[in-house]
Structure 1
Amino acid sequence: MERGMTADQVLKALWRRKVLVGAIVLGVFAVGAAIVLSQPSVYEATAVVRVQHQRPGEEMVQRTVSELVEQRLLTVRQELMARPVLQKAIEEMNLYPDIVSEKGMEAAVNRMRKDITVRVEGESAFELTYASTDANVAAQVANRLPQLFAEEAQKSRQEQAARATQLFEDEVVALSKSVTEWEKKIAQFKVDHQGELPEQLEMNMRGLERVGALLQTKSEELRVAEARRSDLARARNAADSEAGRMEAAEHSLAQGLVAARSSWTADHPEVKRISQELNVMRERRKDAESRQWAERQERTRVAELITNIQKEIEGLHDQAREYQSRLDRTPQWAHALGVLNRDYEIARTKYQSVVSRRVEAELAQELEAKSAASLFNTISPAGVPVAAARPDRVSGLLIAFLLALGVGVLTGVVMEMRDDSIRDTQELRERLPLPVLAVVPNMQGKAEKRVLMPATGNRNGVVTPSTNDSPLN
């Protein structure tokens, strides 16, 4: 039966079974020590890497890589544990060949993640620790991993800068086409509304003023020409009368000369007088007819001049109406052209801005390429470890000993609790409801026994010794 035990009882029980307990302790300790001593030695190598600040500053060159290098420390562990970095390290240094051949690269990468420890130190540095059963390999991997991480980080930053540059380049091409299309639209609009554009408003107003001045001039010329034509018309009537009179007088003198010659000789004074008067009249008639012809030519010229002036005035009126029509339509086209120019200016401003950003992106890409080698600096490279980091064999042996001792004590206690033997009077009193009458003293010698005689009562109340003896050995 099971029962509780005091510390003294436990010590006595262990002492009674000291051989068994000792054997169990030694056996368990031997197994534990074998396990501890059989564990391979694991060496840890640590490298410290510092992230350099970027130069020049953003006030000089606007960077296209949005993430600062210092901010990558927040995710440095995840990036170091990324498959590309670890796989490259495994392939480069031929790590975990058994795992790679048996279970594949993914299992080797997972195993390597367990062997790596990353700790961020301060605001611009981190520690990388790699554990391996080979001290030289641990140092090599600890020194190489930061370099691979730096290469991947630099590659990522350069790719990001290149993507930004290409993005701006594509945007420049698209905006250039847009600007060209707007320029064509504006040019076609100006061709379609030539003479009615806002920038031609002043020209049209000056043209209208010039046409008005010409109209006044031509009107005055027309007035003068019409007055001249009126004068010529009056002079024509007078000239016609004079020429007719002279012609009639000449005809009369010619008849008189004929009559005189029929009456007198050619030398007669009267004939000579009439002949002389006829010659004078004939000259006067010819002169009058000459003036009449010149006046007729002048009238024709004046009539043509008046016609031309009237045509010019009509043309000037047409020009004035055209200029006025242009001036009337200018506000309408000014609004439409303003809308086109506004959209064009927006597109051109965007184009100029993107071109400027593209130039900055190209400069930033060049700076990223030139400063890539100095972004990460290993300030404390990993050395070859001399002593193994784990397992701690002293602690392991101590733990094995404590575990063996615990197993031995537990075994002794369990066996004692399952032992129903009665070994002293106290235990007898606790387990039997009968009083103890006598205790046989412990007799020296191996064959000696101490017998306890529990009392039994009869029907009359007389106490007699019991025949059931309990050994106290």
Structure 2
Amino acid sequence: MEEERNMERGMTADQLLGALWRRKALVGAIAAVVFVVGAAIVMTRPSMYEASVVVRVEPQRPGEEMVQRTVSEIIEQRLLTVRQELLARPVLQKAIEEMNLYPDIVSEKGMEAAVSQMRKDLTVRVEGETAFELTYANRDPQVAAQVANRLPTIFSDETLKIRQAQAARATDLFNEEMVQMGKAVSAWEQKISQFKVDHLGELPEQMEMNMRGLERVSHQLQTKSEELRVAEARRSDLARARNAVDSEAGRLEAAESGLTRSLVNARTNWTEDHPEVKRLQTELDGMTARRKDAEGRLWAERAERTRVSSLIGGIQQEIVGLQKQAEAYQGRLNNTPRWAHELAVMNRDYEISRTKYQSVVSRKVEAEIAQELEAKSAKSLFNVISPAGVPATPARPDRMAGMLIVFLLALGLGVLTGAVLEMRDDSLRDGMEVRQRLTLPVLAVVPEMQGKTERRILMPASGARNSVSNPTSLN
């Protein structure tokens, strides 16, 4: 409890100065030891040299105006993530391997530890909208400058590899898409061609031809119908004429038979020179001639009837053929709207596929041009506007600031040690402390004797005992 009270009591500046003066040897020793150790740490820390390079990202607007790029990310936007990309393992590992950095760390702990250490030694800061500053720290100023100047080139190479790989992937995708779309277009072309073959004569483009054919067949039907009417009329006339001719020929044949019998009878009664015989012979000859003429006309009429009948049969067959042609043309015209709808649907899908194919072909050409532009613009993406020079003085540690901090720390530890010891010391050194710490009144204080150590006895107030059983020793 006494110790807690000692720790809780306060100290004035004068008391603190007095306590430090009384323990000046201890305070000085502690401060000196701390200062020496801190100074040794500060002075033995290796010097780190920093080299900085400023890189400007060149815009790619002219290339975008000439052709649409397949790498959608604008190069200026990479500044938003430039620190992460510069500190990425591929860039740092390539720099470590190329410039043989951190050989001890690589041999002992591996490449990952070396990459982690290089991340600690690198500082990337974006400057404005189109530039960034890269700072590298190393114990060797030459190495610091070399690495700072080399890192932007490595970063540029890696960035260009990524962009060219993206452009190449886009070109490959367009190639694959073009092949697939080409197959689709060919399939539609074959389907449409087969459809036209299957429905030849009933296609929309043949509708006008079918209408003209139907008109032509209709006109021929009318002509043949008229010819049939005329032929049938002729056959009717021949039929009526045949009855008349048959009657005349029969009459003439009967008359000829009668004259022949009369002539035979006359010849039995008279001679050939008899007038009656001559008359009968002359009538018989005339009758025979008339009969033969009638029979000739009869045969001609029969031949004409046969011809007319054949003509009517031919005309009727032609009419049947023409009617079939008309029905075929009419059937084609009736089917044309249905096939026109199906063909229009196929042509629509074909046009969509062909348009997509042409678009993919165009994009593929643009992708190839964009890939070539990415390769040609490789040297113009990043421009080092302020290369790193060899640093003449180390950037850290700041030895003057370090020594000042060590001095203040040593002084603070010395003062703190003296104050703590003073607060833990319960000795009474003057009358003021006695009055503050004791509840009894102080009657007298024996002053310190020169060069001697005395024992002082504090007399309590009246009513108390004559002496204190446990006097406190005063220095």
Matched, 1:327 2:333: yes
Match of 1:448 in 2: 452
Alpha-carbon distance, 1:434 to partner: 3.8
Match of 1:311 in 2: 317
Superposed, 1:6-21 pairs within 5 Å as: 6-21=12-27
Match of 1:195 in 2: 201
The alignment partner of 2:66 has SS state of: coil
Match of 1:204 in 2: 210
The alignment partner of 1:454 has SS state of: coil
Kept after mapping to 2: 8 A contact 1:449/1:471: no
Q: 2:422 aligns with which of 399, 402, 416?
A: 416
Q: Which moved more, 1:330-339 or 1:275-284?
A: 275-284
The letter of the residue matching 1:156 is I
Matched, 1:107 2:121: no
The alignment partner of 1:63 has SS state of: coil
Structure-2 change in CA distance of 1:462 and 1:157 (3 Å): closer
The letter of the residue matching 2:56 is R
Kept after mapping to 2: 8 A contact 1:436/1:452: no
Structure-2 change in CA distance of 1:416 and 1:287 (3 Å): same
Q: Deviations over 1:161-181 (max 9, x none)?
A: 111121122111111211222
Q: Which moved more, 1:54-63 or 1:145-154?
A: 54-63
Structure-2 change in CA distance of 1:270 and 1:373 (3 Å): farther
Alpha-carbon distance, 1:313 to partner: 1.1
Kept after mapping to 2: 8 A contact 1:434/1:455: no
Kept after mapping to 1: 8 A contact 2:441/2:461: no
Match of 2:49 in 1: 43
Q: Which moved more, 1:197-206 or 1:312-321?
A: 197-206
Q: Which moved more, 1:402-411 or 1:427-436?
A: 427-436
Structure 1 gap ranges (5+): none
Kept after mapping to 2: 8 A contact 1:115/1:130: yes
The alignment partner of 1:455 has SS state of: coil
Alpha-carbon distance, 1:426 to partner: 1.1
Structure-2 change in CA distance of 1:269 and 1:374 (3 Å): farther
Matched, 1:398 2:442: no
Alpha-carbon distance, 1:218 to partner: 0.7
Q: Deviations over 1:42-95 (max 9, x none)?
A: 111111111111142544312111111111111111111111111111111111
Alpha-carbon distance, 1:438 to partner: 3.8
Q: 1:148 aligns with which of 141, 145, 154?
A: 154
The alignment partner of 1:119 has SS state of: strand
Alpha-carbon distance, 1:18 to partner: 1.8
Q: Which moved more, 1:62-71 or 1:435-444?
A: 435-444
Structure-2 change in CA distance of 1:468 and 1:320 (3 Å): closer
Q: Deviations over 1:219-263 (max 9, x none)?
A: 100011111212222333344445555556666777777778885
The letter of the residue matching 2:310 is E
How many Å separate the matches in 2 of 1:175 and 1:364?
22
Q: Deviations over 1:17-51 (max 9, x none)?
A: 22222222111111111101111011111111111
Q: 2:192 aligns with which of 186, 191, 209?
A: 186
Structure-2 change in CA distance of 1:470 and 1:233 (3 Å): closer
Q: 1:339 aligns with which of 337, 345, 366?
A: 345
How many Å separate the matches in 2 of 1:18 and 1:318?
138
The alignment partner of 1:386 has SS state of: coil
Structure 2 gap ranges (5+): none
Q: 2:75 aligns with which of 48, 69, 76?
A: 69
Matched, 1:299 2:310: no
Alpha-carbon distance, 1:457 to partner: 5.4
Kept after mapping to 1: 8 A contact 2:57/2:75: yes
How many Å separate the matches in 2 of 1:63 and 1:234?
98
Kept after mapping to 2: 8 A contact 1:44/1:135: yes
How many Å separate the matches in 1 of 2:279 and 2:128?
149
Q: Deviations over 1:107-138 (max 9, x none)?
A: 11111111111111111111111111111111
Match of 2:168 in 1: 162
Match of 2:381 in 1: 375
The letter of the residue matching 2:452 is E
The letter of the residue matching 2:370 is A
Q: Which moved more, 1:271-280 or 1:334-343?
A: 271-280
How many Å separate the matches in 2 of 1:76 and 1:261?
152
How many Å separate the matches in 1 of 2:435 and 2:397?
54
Q: 1:131 aligns with which of 134, 137, 140?
A: 137
Match of 2:128 in 1: 122
Kept after mapping to 1: 8 A contact 2:220/2:322: yes
Q: Which moved more, 1:249-258 or 1:345-354?
A: 249-258
What TM-score, normalized to structure 1?
0.89
Kept after mapping to 2: 8 A contact 1:47/1:382: yes
Structure-2 change in CA distance of 1:407 and 1:325 (3 Å): same
The alignment partner of 2:458 has SS state of: strand
How many Å separate the matches in 2 of 1:417 and 1:279?
191
